[in-house]
Amino acid sequence: MRENQKDLRKRIERAKEKSKHAAQMNAYEENQAEDELGNDEVQQGNGGQILEQWKAQDGVPNDKGQVFHGKKLKGMKRLGYLAIAIGVMAMFFTDTATVDTSESAKNALENQVSTSISAGVVLLQEDENLGAQDYTITHSSDADETKIWVWDYAAEDGDYVQVLIDGTPISESFMIQHQPKEFMVPSTGSVQIKGIRDGGGGITYAVRYDMNGTSYFNTAPEGEFNTYELVKE
């Protein structure tokens, strides 16, 4: 009887030890599971941060604020490009010609004729009506044709003229500028410079004839013309 009781006690003790061991194993496995879960959450959190950083580096907006900021930057860039374009155009269209104030230039304005002033010279900063003149040009050139140059000797303000030979246009109307425009005309006959449009202050222009090396400073009334009669001696 006693031996049976001892055996029973031993069995109970062994069962308790097994239960205790099993509980310890369960607790260990639970701790391991919690640690693994925590690591996964940390990795996921780090992955999210990395993803957000990647989006920021590559310019991918991750919220509405970033979208608005991106559009604002694009708008600022466009305004910058527009300002640069306007600046470049201003450089091209700004009149920076130097006015000749020499004694020869003063004589040319007074006489409206000069053999010492070359084509393209600017005599005035603003238009000044010198009065319309017609000229008879006598020369001894044997050439059938001669070059002429037409330019604006005052302000480039949008004056337009047209070149005619004996009343027939040889060119379209064009805006006179400081840069001379070249034409070939007969060495005898009538050359007319017709005023087409006044940009303001009168249509002031100059024309230089290659055959006699003379520049003429004139004013063409709008819708009318100045005549240069070329006569060979």
Give the residue among 125, 134, 137 at the shortest CA–CA distance from 214: 137
**Residue 175: per-residue pLDDT:** 98
Q: What's the pLDDT tens digit per position in 152-163?
A: 999 999 999 999
Q: Select the more confidently predicted residue: 138 or 23.
A: 138
Quote the pTM value.
0.60
Q: What's the pLDDT tens digit per position in 201-211?
A: 899 999 999 99
Share of the chain above pLDDT 70, in %: 60
**Residue 6: per-residue pLDDT:** 53
Cα separation, 102 vs 178, whole angstroms: 18
Task: Please give the full DSSP string across the chain, using - where no structure is assigned.
Answer: -HHHHHHHHHHHHHHHHHHHHHHHHHHHHHHHHHHHHHHHHHHHHHHHHHHHHHHHHTT---SHHHHHHHHHHHHHHHHHHHHHHHHHHHHHHS--PPBP-SHHHHHHHHHSEESSPPTT-B--SS--------EEEEE----SEEEEEEE-SS--S--EEEEEETTEESS--EE--SS-EEEEEESSEEEEEEEEE--SS--EEEEEETTTTEEEEEE--BT-EEEEEEEE-
Q: What's the pLDDT tens digit per position in 172-222?
A: 999 999 999 999 999 999 999 999 999 988 999 999 999 999 999 999 999
